[in-house]
Structure 1
Amino acid sequence: MKLAFIINDICTEKDNYTTIRLARRAIGMGHEVVLVGIGNLIYESNESVAALVTRPSRTDYEDDTDLLADLQSDKVEKTRCNLSEMDVVLLRFDPADEINTRPWAPPSALLFAQLLANQGIIVLNDPTHLTDASNKTYFQTYPELVRPKTAIVHNAAEIKNVVERFGGKAVIKPLQGSGGQGVFIINRESSSNLNQMIEASLRDGYVIVQEYLPLAADGDLRLLTLNGKPLQVDGVYACFKRYNESGDGRSNISAGGKIKMAEPDDDALRLAEAVGPKLVRDGMYFTGLDIVGNKMMEINVDSPGGITMAEDLTGKDFSGAIIADLERKVRLKRYYGGKLSVTELAVM
């Protein structure tokens, strides 16, 4: 299987990223792997899509750190590759990382990905619906029962009005962003800093004002899904709890959060069941559900993370299960020729 990972840039990858774990597992299973920065895509005059790619120089790596060191080595030069000859292209870039430096890059990469999908390449997650999901308004298209009460505004006075309607407790965060950046917890104790929080949130555009869920103080649950269903290996879910002991209301690992093993409860599985049909319809092959109690805070569809942490906590080979599933999709595509669409294959 020929597998391409489209990422932000090889220089910004880290050894705890899901992408690096998936790439190493694919290499170990005998597949050809390339990594592509979103600024290195090329549309050829013959209508194929090419790229300047980074290739692993070996087929055996001790761990993720070993692989990343090889990929980021000064000795590794980018080579030209025809992506139109790939079997699978995984979209693993985070648009939020490009807001201030290359805002043009993520939407451009999605357009290239759509060209590849139109040529019959299996592109995951589905690039057309990822374009729709370019900011957090996408979450509002899922069933109301899974979502906290939410307002989206770009006006300081209106933000204050919404916070008051929510009883003086709320979470405010930028419409576009990830990793806990720009997220503020509003309560009576922090109200004296409300103006500064609002000003900081408004710098990047529209702001989400979300009702505060008291259980969020204990952390949240990250549940990974594959093909619209919770990812499991040997009956063990790819799931863990994220929490923060510092008093910071954000549980994101990048914001200083910690993790521990967790089993999804009935509420979490019910929420996953509720969003599953739309995940399937939209071709959202691999996602991360962030859950607090009986509500879902967010659905991560752009480069969702957590495989590395789930594997390290459980000892289960979730990355191997994903690569094996991709192998299955390539076989199905071959069996049926052009009769199955890319969106159908995405979650089949």
Structure 2
Amino acid sequence: MWDESELVTKLTETFMHLSQRLSGFLSEGQSKVMSARLFDQLQKLLEDSYLLEHFNDIKEKLSSLLETSDNSSVANQVSDLSQRLVNIFEESQRSVSPPLFDLQTRFFTTIEEFQKQLDVMVKYDWDFDHYLEEDIPAVMDYIRSQSKPKDDKLFAIGHSMGGILLYGMLSKYGYEGRDPRLAAVVTLASSLDYTTSKSTLKMLLPLANPAQVLNVPVVPLGAMLSAAYPFTSSPPYVLSWLNNLISAEDMMDPELLKKLVLNNFCTISAKLLLQLTTTLREGGLRDRSGTFFYKEHLPKITTPVLAFAGDHDLICPPEAVYETVKFIPENMVTYKVVGQPGGPHYAHYDLVGGRLAVEEIYPRIIEFLSCND
């Protein structure tokens, strides 16, 4: 026999998660999609049962409740419908129909898998603007509280998306007429607009488009790269070209490169990925509303910027870096491409982890920051 109270509780909590929009994390469209998926899965479990008609009646009522904005007023109704749904499954359990023999196990599995989907959607529900508006200010406030700078200003160094965030911050603050309280900024391999270059970031588009169409919350980039690593570093080296995206030949210690690939990349919020793909469209990166173009407000920057580009960077080529820095006032920016025609060359991560970075990159950063201290 089933533990009815446990099942009622599980159902009620699941449907109330939907009706409450997961405390505001889920958009209306997401909650509709997620509830539709759950209903479809449950309906398949009963498609050969004479109880399907009763389930459809309850599904319609639950769907209606999920449209209600006053969630507190529908709690009792959700609980009641959950109990009625339990009754349907209990009645089906007494059926001798072979397809329903293991209905209990499949039903619990369906509910648990659905709950995991909701948890993942909540956990990874952020975009670029969340980083910019919440995380960066929190980090800077903490550093100020610990270092207590006399002029209340900090130095900031950002690589790749870290630099994009710094550009975004300077742009936003310049537009709003606010002081970013940064004495100087260094960016490495960063740009707000990749349209004028042959950036391999365009490879992300095949990941972003399905994520948008299917309304999935995450893109497991870290797992994908970890799975691909053996094919980049072992015979027959079918994916060895991926290494060039990270480091130029002989520029990074092999063990460091391995650790970087296996540990540095992680699961990405689909919302973050979708917003970053605007860097590949005309006008460059924009905010989540799609109306604020960060590049347009770079001329308002009053903070000195040192921008590095790697000569063999396939992810953020020098052309992409220049497409951003050319909008910054000339007296506020220093643009530097590192790497020599005959070598050594710098790929995307060589600017921070290459064997020559300590000799060629770091001293220039220190000198620049010292001059603006």
Length-normalised TM-score, structure 1? 0.24
Q: Which structure shows the higher helix fraction?
A: 2
Q: Which structure shows the higher strand fraction?
A: 1
Q: Please identify the structure whose Cα radius of gyration is greater.
A: 2
Length-normalised TM-score, structure 2? 0.23
